[in-house]
Structure 1
Amino acid sequence: MNMMTRAFGSMAFAAVAALTASAVQAEEFRLGLITPPPHIWTKAAEAFGAELAEASDGAHSVTVFPARQLGNEAEMLQQLQTGALDMAFMTVAEVSNRAPDFGAFYAPFLAQDIEHAGRILRSDTARGMLEQLPAEVGVVGVAYGMAGLRQIVARGEVNSADDLAGLKLRITPFDPILDFYNAIGAAPTPMPLPAVYDALANGQVDAIDMDAELIWVLKYFEQADTVVQSNHMMFPMVGLVSGRVWAQMSDEDRKLIGDLMAKHVDSTIDSYVEKEQGWLDQVRGAGTNYVEVDQAFFGDAVAEWNAIWAEKSSKLDALRQVADDTAE
């Protein structure tokens, strides 16, 4: 893929090579993710493993561990850093906890729609940001994927952002989304994905921040009174290889593994572009109160987030320029 050729051509491999490599080259790779088996990310990981085994004539295999079997993302990132885990498909959210520049991807309303989000992630600016990862995080990023745009599912009636004030609202635990819901006045509540359905059902949380796929597939709307289609934030994913594992690979294996992983990670963008509206339509038709809002719904919260992250990420202006250049 041309995008991978450019990304790998400029990546800081010297920083990776400086990491200590284990004595034996891994050929049976382990790949972790937090998503459940039916999820698009998990299916892409399995497809990557199958194609790698075929392309390497069985020399390499990938065992996929979905649904947090190897721990949460913070734990898996630590395993990548030590070489205990070979690969992961991971939210850019977790990466942003270690490399704050990546928090810029979560600028509210950076993307106009799901197609626009894909164009931002495929831009030269976005790919260039992967160069930071070997030195700053100890991993190699091969390409971006994504989940759908973020929506809000609430147990009560929601007619304005004021109705979210004080609500316990489930979030993915990372600073950009925490800052956004703090600005709204909600009570953001980190919670692992497997616990969300029951927590919403029993009132442990009042609302959740979620993408359309999981709202529909995992039936979160069944425990809600209101679904707010806000499209307020994109949610990128990145394919990662442990820096220690990468350092011990031959150039040939780096190219093979890098290209194939990038192909399948990138394919998730096309999957969400194709399917996002269908999930939203099915949720809308399920009978739950369905509200469509735009940026004005959130009042001053967007400007407050922008002010905070202008100080935290050096890439915010660059990604805004990309968003302007790729808007339709």
Structure 2
Amino acid sequence: MKTISKALAGAALVVASALPALAEEFRLGLITPPPHIWTKAAEAFGADLAEASGGAHSVTVFPARQLGNEAEMLQQLQTGALDMAFMTVAEVSNRATDFGALYAPFLANDIAHAGRILRSDTAKAMLAQLPATAGVVGTGYGMAGLRQIVSSKPITSVEDLAGLKLRITPFEANLDFYNAIGAAPTPMPLPDVYDALANGQVDAIDMDSELIWLLKYYEFSETVLQSDHMMFPMVGLVSGRVWAGLSEEDRSMIGELMARHVDSTIDTYIEKDPIWLEQVRDTGRTYVEVDEDFFADAVAEWNGIWSERAPSLDALRKVAAETAN
């Protein structure tokens, strides 16, 4: 928490030149649907903020892309048109390239290890970049489950993924990984994925276990690869312009409460990710567990690209090694 407090204090200095009006009714955007863990965390944050502020502040949560996709919401945060967001680090990494380091293939050994990495001082210190690079203040990390692959075609080796139209979340670190494999990465918003699998618009998807199970993507699978190949972090964000108009007391209250609630998602996924994977396995689909060796030279190719683009990568690898057990 000390690392977050220092980052938030620095963020206030960076954005102090902005001149917004003080907002008491905050708007918080997400791309996740209402039942999603991130949305529930956002709603709990709003309730706690209202209580802690004695009713002075309230938060209206807009889930399911009601305010636009993440790129659009990030632009709104930069202008002050949107106050807050719980957003994938994927979108942030499109503006602040160093955050691509958090998507290093096989950086985490399992879901609990991913949580330890995100809770490290090294990961938290990266948030100090955001006011200058993206015009937002990062309060802390949450996450979704590790990434898996669901394919409508049989997959017995990495060569079987070559040329497949594979739905991805559009960010460079992910594109580079699937290009290295030889797949045809196909960016697509989440609401379109089910129909795209059903009608053959895509052959495979990159997804976490929660949505594979709850949205029944497994129904169109010939093979489910439990690869656990990437973390998928989330970050709590406040508009830099809005932050500059807050009192020191409100900055502290909002920053600490938001950090607590995004962090709570880590414990939820550590508990539930293995359960969802087991439920998918029990559907009787072809279920294959693979490791880094399955992806042949793709991991080394990704590392070669991102070792120069993401200065924090070496430090995160050190943290990963120190927290592996």
Between the aligned partners of 1:237 and 1:44, the Cα distance in structure 2 is: 12
Q: What are the residue-to-residue correspondences of 1:176-187 with 2, within 5 Å?
A: 176-187=173-184
Partner of 1:92: 89
Structure 2 residue 261 is matched with structure 1 residue 264: yes
What is the SS of the residue equivalent to 1:98?
coil
Contact 1:3 1:122 in 2 (8 A): no
TM-score, reference length from structure 1 = 0.97
Q: What are the residue-to-residue correspondences of 1:1-328 with 2, within 5 Å?
A: 1-2=1-2, 4-9=4-9, 11-18=10-17, 20-22=18-20, 24-328=21-325
Between the aligned partners of 1:37 and 1:118, the Cα distance in structure 2 is: 23
Tell me the CA shift for residue 12 of structure 1.
Answer: 3.6
Runs of at least 4 residues off by over 3 Å: 1-9
Across the aligned residues of Structure 1 and Structure 2, the Cα RMSD in angstroms comes to 1.0
What is the SS of the residue equivalent to 2:15?
helix
Tell me the CA shift for residue 3 of structure 1.
Answer: 5.5
| Structure 1 residues 6-48: Cα deviation after superposition (integer angstroms, max 9, x where no partner) | 5435x34211112x222x3111100001111111101100100
Between the aligned partners of 2:58 and 2:12, the Cα distance in structure 1 is: 24
Contact 1:83 1:245 in 2 (8 A): yes
Tell me the CA shift for residue 54 of structure 1.
Answer: 1.3
Between the aligned partners of 1:274 and 1:5, the Cα distance in structure 2 is: 28
Contact 1:150 1:209 in 2 (8 A): yes
| Structure 1 residues 194-218: Cα deviation after superposition (integer angstroms, max 9, x where no partner) | 0000001110000000000010111
Between the aligned partners of 1:6 and 1:274, the Cα distance in structure 2 is: 30
TM-score, reference length from structure 2 = 0.98
Tell me the CA shift for residue 167 of structure 1.
Answer: 0.3
Tell me the CA shift for residue 187 of structure 1.
Answer: 0.2
Letter in 2 for 1:215: I
Query: How many residues are matched?
Result: 325
Q: Which stretches in structure 1 are left out of the alignment for 5+ residues?
A: none
Letter in 1 for 2:108: A
